[in-house]
Amino acid sequence: MSVASAVYERSCHICDAVRIVLKRMLLNIQRGKQLSANREIMHQMRTEFRPKNEQWFYLSQLNDQTNSEYDSMIKELEKGR
């Protein structure tokens, strides 16, 4: 019985490691899509923001918020191991 439980525990560990890697990859893909969407939103709103400095400031704030949200999701994923 101990051999079966050892194999089960090891295979669960491998499955968890694969799950975390795949989930982290998915979150990073979603982050990239969101950052691209942020850039597209600012590009479409260019007519409302006359000074380019303000436009880049708001884009930077939006990207910082997006990055912090996804960083916290990845930390939570890794903490839940």
Gap between the Cα atoms of 44 and 47, Å rounded: 7
Per-residue pLDDT reduced to its tens digit, 44-70: 877 666 666 778 888 899 999 999 999
What pTM was computed for the model? 0.75
The residue among 32, 14, 28 whose CA lies nearest residue 71 is: 28
Per-residue pLDDT reduced to its tens digit, 10-49: 667 788 888 899 999 999 999 999 999 999 988 887 766 6
Alpha-carbon distance values, 32 to 27, 46, 52, 55, 59 (Å): 9, 21, 23, 20, 14
- DSSP, res 45: T
Residue 48, token pair as written in the block: 């409302």
